Amino acid sequence: MTSMTGTAARAMAGFGNTSLGRAFGSWLGKIAGGFLVLLLLTAIFAPWITPFDYAAQDLMNGNAPPGWPHLLGTDQFGRDVLSRVIYGARTSLSVSATAIAISITVGMTLGAAAGYFGGLFERAVMTVVDLTWSFPDILIALIFVAIIGPGLTSTTFAIAIAYLAQFTRLTRAQIVRLKRETFIEATINLGAKPHHILLKHLLPNAIAPVIVVGMLAIGDGIVLEATLGFFGLGAQPPTPSWGAMMSSGTAQLFLSPWVIIFPGVVVAVTVIAVNLFGDELIRALDIRDRIRGA
Amino acid sequence: MTNLLEVRNLSKQFTSSGGPFRRARAMHAVNDVSFDLPKGRVIGVVGESGCGKSTLARLILRLIEPTAGTLHFDGEDLRAKSPAQMRGLRARMQMVFQDPYSAIDPRYTLQRAVMEPFVVQGRKTIGSEADEVAALLEMVGLNPGLASSFPHQISGGQKQRVGIARALALRPSLLVLDEPTASLDVSVQAQIISLLEQLRDDLGLTYLFISHDLSLVRYFCDEILVMYLGRVVEALPDTELAARHPYTKTLMDSTFAPDPKQRRVIAPLEGEVPSPFDLPPGCAFADRCPQATDICRSETPELAERGGHPVACHHPI
Amino acid sequence: MLEVRDLQVAFGAVAPLSGVSFSLAKGETLGIVGESGSGKSLTAMSVMGLLPLSGGRITAGSIMFDGQELTTLAEPAYRKLRGGRLGMITQNPMTSLDPLQKIGPQVDDVSRLHLGKTAAEARARTVEILGTLRIPEPALICDRYPHQMSGGMKQRIVIAMALAADPDLLVADEPTTALDVTVQAQIIRLLDDLVKERDLALVLITHDMSVVAQTCDKVVVMYAGRAVERGPVQAIFDAPQHPYTQALIGCIPKGLSEDEHLIGIPGTVPTVLNYPKGCPFHPRCDRAQEICTTERPAFVHNGDSAAACHFAGSAP
Mutation target vs B (from A189, A203, A287; most B CBs, 10 A cutoff): A189
What percent of chain A is modeled with pLDDT above 70?
A: 93
Please compute the mean of the pLDDT values over residues A98-117 and round it to a whole number: 94
Mean pLDDT (chain B, rounded): 89
pLDDT of residue A1: 42
pLDDT of residue B44: 95
Confidence bin at B1 (pLDDT 50/70/90): low
Enter the pTM of the model.
Answer: 0.85
Per-residue model confidence as pLDDT tens digits over C168-193: 999 999 888 777 888 888 888 888 88
For chain B, which chains pass the contact test of at least 3 CB pairs under 8 Å?
A: A, C
Per-residue model confidence as pLDDT tens digits over A64-73: 788 778 888 8
Please compute the mean of the pLDDT values over residues C141-154 and round it to a whole number: 85
Confidence bin at A252 (pLDDT 50/70/90): confident
User: Which residues from B are below 8 Å from C181, CB to CB?
Assistant: 48, 212-214, 251, 254-255
pLDDT of residue B268: 63
pLDDT beyond 60 at A6: no
Confidence bin at A17 (pLDDT 50/70/90): low
Q: What share of chain B is helix, strand, coil (3-state, %, to 5)?
A: 35, 25, 40
Across the interface, whether the CB atoms of B98 and A189 are under 8 A apart is answered: no
Beta-carbon contacts of C123 under 8 Å, excluding residues fewer than 6 positions away, are C104, C108, C142
The DSSP bridge pattern shows strands C226-232 and C218-223 to be antiparallel
Interface of A with B in 179-218 (CB under 8 A): 181-183, 185-193, 196, 201, 204-205
Q: Are A277 and A39 in contact (CB under 8 A)?
A: no
The one-letter amino acid code at C142 reads: C
Q: Which residue of B has its CA nearest to A189?
A: B90
User: Which residues from A are below 8 Å from B182, CB to CB?
Assistant: none
pLDDT of residue A205: 92
pLDDT of residue B265: 66
- With 0-12 / 13-18 / 19 or more C-beta atoms within 10 angstroms meaning exposed / middle / buried, residue A69 is exposed
pLDDT of residue C182: 82
Across the interface, whether the CB atoms of B117 and A190 are under 8 A apart is answered: yes
Please compute the mean of the pLDDT values over residues B73-77 and round it to a whole number: 92
Please compute the mean of the pLDDT values over residues B118-134 and round it to a whole number: 89
Please compute the mean of the pLDDT values over residues A134-142 and round it to a whole number: 83
Please compute the mean of the pLDDT values over residues C104-109 and round it to a whole number: 89
Contact of chains C and A by CB distance (3 or more pairs under 8 angstroms): no
pLDDT of residue C185: 85
pLDDT beyond 90 at B172: yes
Across the interface, whether the CB atoms of B61 and A185 are under 8 A apart is answered: no
Across the interface, whether the CB atoms of B107 and A182 are under 8 A apart is answered: no
Q: Are B210 and B42 in contact (CB under 8 A)?
A: no
Across the interface, whether the CB atoms of B192 and C237 are under 8 A apart is answered: no
Q: Are C43 and C7 in contact (CB under 8 A)?
A: yes
Please compute the mean of the pLDDT values over residues B47-64 and round it to a whole number: 91
Of B185, B194, B254, the CB nearest to C182: B254
What percent of chain C is modeled with pLDDT above 70?
A: 97
Helix (H, G, I), strand (E, B) or coil at A292: helix
Q: Which residue of B has its CA nearest to A204?
A: B107
What's the CA gap between A108 and A99, in Å, rounded?
Answer: 14
Q: Which residue of B has its CA nearest to C179?
A: B49
Please compute the mean of the pLDDT values over residues A140-144 and round it to a whole number: 83
What percent of chain A is modeled with pLDDT above 90?
A: 34
Per-residue model confidence as pLDDT tens digits over C36-75: 888 888 898 888 888 888 888 888 888 998 888 888 888 8
Across the interface, whether the CB atoms of B87 and A192 are under 8 A apart is answered: yes
Q: Which residue of C has its CA nearest to B50?
A: C180
Of B90, B99, B102, the CB nearest to A191: B90
